[in-house]
């Protein structure tokens, strides 16, 4: 990924932070977007600057559900590093509630960040990639979009319907982008992590009983580490995966093989 620039949203912690490090390790400049946790973003940027001296690194605040913020994220990245080659839309939140008890506010907040945010980032990325075209000797593609999805793009999740609805929306957004823009040499794919040890689900893996219950849903019998996801992201951003377009790669330890059916059904 040498001489390329990558924007990673929600990169101040969890999967996004690990992805930023993996992308920098492959030689790309990284733009670490954060919404509220500036201190963490600075820490990630400092560790990248120390470990990978040849790459550029910057942090930039933006709420991905805000149109002006997203435009300014792209403009700032471009003025710092020049053309942008990779967009990794990773920001995601949960606001959990049973469906009959879910407030409109909880519903909208998750749709705004997890679905509309992915649309806004993809739209700016598409404009950028269409304007740049294929940059010779840099990449075989005009640009790469990677959406961070979830197993819940296919697995229903009753206590989290806003989240599952947003992620399944992301799948159709991703496929529509591939369908419309693959001819312009733009690649768009999703990664669907399973249960990954990050702050978003610390209430589960931080509790012994809940953690044991969760493991029953994972045939590989362990949660993912953010690095399990990050290595797939850096490969998917590279020309090694050039012919992969319009698909979701599940990185879930077998969660979507529904282990609850081993002896039932």
201 touches ligand BGC (CB under 6 A) = yes
The pair phi, psi for residue 73, each rounded to 5°, is -60, -50
Measured in whole angstroms, how far is the alpha carbon of residue 176 from the centre of its chain?
17
218 touches ligand BGC (CB under 6 A) = no
152 touches ligand BGC (CB under 6 A) = yes
Token pair belonging to 62 = 């933006």
**Of 122 and 224, CB closest to ligand BGC:** 224
In sequence order, the 6+-apart residues with CB closer than 8 A to the CB of 34 are 10, 11, 12, 40, 41, 59, 60, 61
Count interface residues toward ligand BGC (CB under 6 A).
8
Point out which span in 63-71, 105-113, 138-146, 195-203 binds ligand BGC (CB under 6 A): 195-203
Cα separation of 114 and 30, whole Å?
21
134 touches ligand BGC (CB under 6 A) = no
Token pair belonging to 11 = 């990169």
**Candidate residues 151, 186, 233, 249; the one interacting with ligand BGC per rule CB under 6 A:** 151
Active-site entry in 34, 52, 74, 163: 163
**Of 190 and 238, CB closest to ligand BGC:** 190
Nearest distance in Å: CB 163, ligand BGC? 7
Token pair belonging to 14 = 């969890």
**Of 94 and 175, CB closest to ligand BGC:** 94
Point out which span in 131-139, 145-153, 169-177, 183-191 binds ligand BGC (CB under 6 A): 145-153
257 touches ligand BGC (CB under 6 A) = no
Helix (H, G, I), strand (E, B) or coil at 11: coil
In sequence order, the 6+-apart residues with CB closer than 8 A to the CB of 240 are none
In sequence order, the 6+-apart residues with CB closer than 8 A to the CB of 50 are none
Token pair belonging to 184 = 């312009």
Of 234, 158, 141, 162, the C-alpha closest to 191 is 234
Of 125, 120, 114, 124, the C-alpha closest to 169 is 114
* Site string (20-59) toward ligand BGC, x via CB under 6 A: ----------------------------------------
Nearest distance in Å: CB 109, ligand BGC? 15
Cα separation of 55 and 57, whole Å?
6
DSSP 8-state code for residue 140: S
Nearest distance in Å: CB 148, ligand BGC? 9
194 touches ligand BGC (CB under 6 A) = yes
195 touches ligand BGC (CB under 6 A) = yes
Quickly tell me which residue has 């490090």 as its tokens.
21
256 touches ligand BGC (CB under 6 A) = no
**Of 45 and 192, CB closest to ligand BGC:** 192
Q: Judge whether 52 counts as a catalytic residue.
A: no
Binding interface with ligand BGC (CB under 6 A): 94, 150-152, 194-195, 200-201
Active-site positions?
163
């Amino acid at each position: 990924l040498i001489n390329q620039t990558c924007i990673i949203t929600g990169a101040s912690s969890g999967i996004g932070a690990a992805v930023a490090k993996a992308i920098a390790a492959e030689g790309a400049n990284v733009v670490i977007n954060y919404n509220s946790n500036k201190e963490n973003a600075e820490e990630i940027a400092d560790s990248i600057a120390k470990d990978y001296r040849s790459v550029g690194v910057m942090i930039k605040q933006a709420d991905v559900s805000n149109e002006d913020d997203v435009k300014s994220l792209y403009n700032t990245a471009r003025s710092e590093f020049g053309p942008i080659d990779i967009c990794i839309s990773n920001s995601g939140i949960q606001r959990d509630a049973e469906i009959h008890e879910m407030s409109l506010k909880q519903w909208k907040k998750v749709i705004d960040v997890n679905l509309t945010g992915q649309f806004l980032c993809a739209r700016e990325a598409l404009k950028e990639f269409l304007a740049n075209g294929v940059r010779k000797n840099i990449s075989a593609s005009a640009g790469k979009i990677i959406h961070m999805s979830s197993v819940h793009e296919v697995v229903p999740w009753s206590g989290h319907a806003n989240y599952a609805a947003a992620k399944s929306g992301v799948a159709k957004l991703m496929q529509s982008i591939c369908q419309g823009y693959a001819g312009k040499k733009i690649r768009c794919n999703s990664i669907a992590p399973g249960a990954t040890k990050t702050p978003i689900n610390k209430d589960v893996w931080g509790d012994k009983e809940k953690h044991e219950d969760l493991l029953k849903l994972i045939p590989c019998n362990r949660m993912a580490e953010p690095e399990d996801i990050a290595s797939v992201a850096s490969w998917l951003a590279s020309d090694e995966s050039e012919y992969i377009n319009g698909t979701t790669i599940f990185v879930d330890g077998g969660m979507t093989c529904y282990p609850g059916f081993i002896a039932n059904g």
